[in-house]
A and B are shown apart, each in its own frame.
Chain A
Amino acid sequence: MTHKILVVDDDNDLREMVGLVLSSAGYEPIYVADGAVALETFERTNPDLVLLDIMLPGKDGIQVCREIRAVSGVPIIMLTARSDTDDIVRGLEVGADDYIVKPHRGAELVARIRARLRPLSSETGVLQIGPLTLDVEAHEVKRDGEIVLLTPLEFSLLFTLGSKPKQVFSREMLLKEVWNYPMKPEAQYKPDTRLVNVHVQRLRAKVEQDPDNPKIVLTVRGVGYKAGTDSN
């Protein structure tokens, strides 16, 4: 099955080039040049992943991300020329799963996409984390019988923590398990622990009763995170 990838970028040449790279990697690129039509194209074509340039003229990438996130848990990877903290964190907060800084290697881009499109696990069964019930095969999370909507990435994060409740996961470990970092040793920039921080926050906002006093996704100071196992 060929995965469809929506490429949203206003630079014509770059868009085409990315498309070429994706095609030769076995994906089917769908092009969007303008943020205004991004959502509509998304709903029409139903891609498996979205590559989204943050700096778009007109309707900006952050807004597009928000809109797509509101209707779908599809993996979204931000493309950004800026490595400033604020932009990236903002993008992650509104729903992006990962980001890649221009200029980037084609191989890196493809590896990132592959990581997001990787099937979560071949496990079946039910995992209990506190008051949450994870149906692994269906990728569904229920709390007291009610479904909690998580993106695949959020589910993956929760699942990783919950499948080894005694283990404390450092941010690097989570980056490796969930985001599939590090890619190559000569990676241009060091994988970013902000990815983990923001996603933990997003996860908490969705699954915790009180996100400021988390009971399910616990912080272990100076080390990382782990799953809370008492159900209350």
Chain B
Amino acid sequence: MFSLLRRSLQARAVFATIALTSIAMITLGGFLSYALSDGLYRARLEQVLEETERAVASVQDTVSAASLTDETAMQSLLNSIVPTLEIRGTNESRQVALLRSPDQPQLQLLQSPISADLDLNSIPEELRSQVRQSESTLSYTSVALIRQGVTSPGITVGAPLDIPLAGMFELYLVYDLSSEQQTLDFVQQVLAWGGAILIAVISIVSYTVTWRIVKPVESAASVAEQIAAGQLGERLVERGSDVVAKLAHSFNRMASTLQNQIQQLDELSQTQRRFVSDVSHELRTPMTTIKLAGEVIFTNREQLDPALRRSAELLQNQVNRFEALLVDLLEISKYDAGVVQPEFELQDLNHVVGLAIANIEPLAMSKGTSISIELPDGPVEAEFDSRRIERVLRNLLSNAVEHAEGKPIRVQVGANSNAVAVCVTDQGVGMTKQQIEHVFDRFWRADPSRQRSVGGTGLGLAISKEDTTLHRGWLQVWAKPGKGASFRVTLPRYRDSVIANSPLPMPPKSKTAGVDT
């Protein structure tokens, strides 16, 4: 139920209406009921007291006037009072009790007559003592009458009587208020029914009213969702000229604007994509001719005179550099245009690491740099694009070899349930904090005056970063000037894994004592 309230504006409005109306009805009904009950009681009480006063006076006169000396006669007289005063009826009833006051000096000679079915509990002790003390005024109390298992309200009124020869008596008249009670019950029922119907009607009204308001909002929400899902052509129905129609109109205008923008961007993206592929083709063919021609000249440079020979060498270098740059540029422009399609395959990361290391080995050897490898026991199974990841590793290794200053390079592979990682660490020239910030920028050189022996298009790390991001992985660097640098690639283990933490620590912990970090 609470989720319905949370979700539906309408449900909340209707619920609030019902709640508030109910509270109002209950409060009002309660108040009315109380007022009525009080009024009825007071009216009846007045009547009762009046009647009783007359009755008491009449009895007192009768008793005082009757100059009887005989006890039996007195008793008959007393006995006759009760039936005289009694009223038996369905709407009204009155019971009588003529009780002798206790603790009197005279001997009790006469009986206390009472009505036949009178429950003496209706004449409570407190009332009796009150009556005895009152001398001539009436005392009353409200009582609960139990008749045939049914409880109804009543009033008991009493007054003292002085009866010659017999002593002090108390006259009690017990009035049944059940007809008042019935009236009250009836009114309360009517109020309750009326209230319930009123609440129901108000609920329906509020439901209908809110529905009229909520429905356009709901339909706007559903159309918005459709548009968000890609159906850009969906619109709201505009009907009439009230604020709802205005909303629909503005919404539709907004949707059309968005649709146009998206289409424009799409077209732009398409154009860019075509450009990338066209350029790719157009540049590569002449590039091939240049490369082949350069090679032929280079291969035969011994036959040339020194100036030409040197020219051939320089030409070859630059052609290679140009080609590398071209390849990298085209690669990164693919990322920019968003046309990259990775090929994920389940395979052993160790194998790819091995290939990359084998690839860089000649260069490393030529610089006298050793590479140590730390692999976990057994294959490291993961889902990734091997061409791209090998490229990343080759880039990191080539950077490491370039900057290692001959000192050994360390390659570590690690894995946990969510992720796999490769860390390439060198102990060479290192980087400052400022340099670390820019290291993944395009065409950024830490030291522009530095000569590279191999590669160095300036895009290597930028492409590596893109490749890693494509895998939803991390590429991180840790470095200290003069101490070396460590690059760590962390990849989700499987296509849908989420990296919780990298399996290799950064900065890398050394396994052998006496090594840096």
Partner of A103, one of B277, B288, B341, B343: B288
Q: What is the interface of chain B mostly: helix, strand, loop, or mixed? A: helix
| CA distance in complex: A84, B330 (Å) | 12
B289 near A13 with CB under 8 A, answer yes
Query: Does A17 contact B289, Cβ atoms closer than 8 Å?
Result: yes
Residue B281, interface by CB 8 Å: yes
* Across-interface contacts of B291 in A (CB, < 8 A): 103-106
Residues of A contacting B289 with CB < 8 Å?
11, 13-14, 17
Question: B449 → chain A, closest Cβ, in Å?
Answer: 26
Central interface residue in B285, B290, B386, by most chain A CB within 10 Å = B285
* B-contacting 9-mer, from A126-134, A139-147, A185-193: A185-193
State in angstroms the CA–CA spacing of A185 and B361 once bound together: 9
Given known pairs A104-B288, A185-B362, A186-B359, the reply for A55 and B281 (CB within 8 Å) is yes
CA distance A197 to B386 in the complex (A): 16
Which of A20, A82, A85, A222 meets B280, CB within 8 Å?
A: A82
Chain B residues with CB under 8 A of A102: 284-285, 287-288
Asked if residues B292 and A81 are in contact (CB atoms below 8 Å), the reply is no
Q: Which residues of B contact A149 (CB under 8 A)?
A: none
How many CB-defined contacts (below 8 Å) exist between A and B?
69
Q: Does A24 contact B (CB under 8 A)?
A: yes
- Report if A107 contacts B (CB, 8 A): yes
CB-based nearest A residue for B331: A83
A18 interface residue (CB < 8 Å to B): yes
Q: Is the CB of A190 within 8 A of B355?
A: yes
Give the distance to chain B from A174, nearest Cβ to Cβ, in Å.
Answer: 15
The residues in B between 406 and 456 inclusive whose CB is less than 8 angstroms from any CB of A are none
Q: How far is the CB of A177 from chain B (nearest CB, A)?
A: 18
A residues near B327, Cβ cutoff 8 Å: 188
Cross-chain contact A14 with B390 (CB below 8 angstroms): no
Report yes or no: A222 in contact with B355, Cβ–Cβ below 8 A: no
Chain B residues whose C-beta falls within 8 Å of the C-beta of A104 in the assembled complex: 288, 291
**How many residues on B have C-beta within 8 angstroms of the other chain's C-beta atoms?**
29
A21 at the interface (CB under 8 A from B): yes
Q: Which of B143-171 contact A (CB under 8 A)?
A: none
Is B292 a contact partner of A106 (Cβ separation < 8 A)?
yes
Complex Cα–Cα for A171 and B323 (A): 29
Interface membership of B20, Cβ < 8 A: no
A18–B280 touching, CB < 8 Å: no
**CB contact between B296 and one of A82, A103, A106 (< 8 Å): that residue:** A106
Q: How many residues of A contact B (CB 8 A)?
A: 26
8 A Cβ contacts from B253-304 to A: 277, 280-281, 284-293, 295-296
Task: Please name all residues of chain A whose beta carbon is closer than 8 Å to the beta carbon of B200 when the two chains form the complex.
Answer: none
Residues from chain B with a CB closer than 8 A to the CB of A18 are 292
Q: Are B295 and A106 in contact (CB under 8 A)?
A: yes
- Identify which of B281, B292, B323, B327 gathers the most chain A CB atoms within 10 Å of its CB: B292
Taking the closest CB of chain A, its distance from the CB of B174, in whole angstroms, is 101
Are B285 and A107 in contact, CB atoms less than 8 angstroms apart?
Answer: no
Q: Please, how many angstroms separate the alpha-carbon atoms of A103 and B319 in the complex?
A: 11
Shortest beta-carbon distance from A208 to chain B in Å: 24
Question: In chain A, residues 178-217, which have Cβ atoms closer than 8 Å to a Cβ of chain B?
Answer: 185-186, 188-190
Quick check: B280 and A81 within 8 Å, CB to CB?
A: yes
Given contacts A103-B291, A103-B323, A222-B346, contact A14 B296 (CB under 8 A): no
With A185-B359, A186-B359 in contact, is A105–B284 under 8 Å at CB? no
Are the C-beta atoms of B292 and A21 separated by less than 8 Å? yes
A84: B residues at CB distance < 8 A = 277
B323 partner residues in chain A, CB cutoff 8 A = 103
Which residues of A (12-49) have their CB < 8 Å from a CB of B? 13-14, 17-18, 20-21, 24
CB-CB contacts of A215-232 with B at 8 A, as 1s and 0s?
000000010000000000
B495 within 8 A of A: no
Report yes or no: A85 in contact with B341, Cβ–Cβ below 8 A: yes
Q: Which listed residue (B293, B341, B343, B346) contacts A17, Cβ 8 A?
A: B293
A39 CB to closest chain B CB (Å) equals: 23
Inter-subunit contact B341/A20 (CB<8 Å): no
Contact of B295 among A82, A105, A189, A222 (CB under 8 A): A105
Contacts of A20 in B (CB 8 A): 292-293, 296
Complex Cα spacing A190 to B387, Å: 7
Q: Let me know if A81 and B281 touch, CB within 8 A.
A: yes
Question: Most chain-A CB neighbours within 10 Å: which of B281, B343, B390?
Answer: B281
Contact between A82 and B292 (Cβ–Cβ < 8 Å)? Answer: no
Q: What's the least CB distance linking A91 to chain B, in Å?
A: 15
Q: What's the Cα separation between A63 and B386 when bound, in Å?
A: 31
B320-346 residues with Cβ-Cβ distance < 8 A to A are 323, 326-327, 341, 343, 346
Top-7 shortest CB links A-B: A81-B284, A103-B288, A103-B287, A102-B284, A81-B281, A102-B288, A17-B292
Question: Which residues of A are interface residues toward B (Cβ below 8 A)?
Answer: 11, 13-14, 17-18, 20-21, 24, 55, 81-82, 84-85, 101-107, 185-186, 188-190, 222
30 contacts between A and B (CB under 8 A): A11-B285, A11-B289, A13-B289, A14-B286, A14-B289, A18-B292, A20-B296, A21-B295, A24-B296, A55-B281, A81-B281, A81-B284, A81-B285, A82-B277, A82-B280, A85-B343, A102-B284, A102-B285, A102-B288, A103-B284, A103-B287, A103-B288, A105-B292, A105-B295, A106-B296, A185-B359, A186-B359, A189-B387, A190-B390, A222-B346
Given contacts A17-B292, A85-B343, A190-B386, 4 further A-B contacts (CB under 8 A): A14-B292, A20-B292, A106-B291, A106-B292
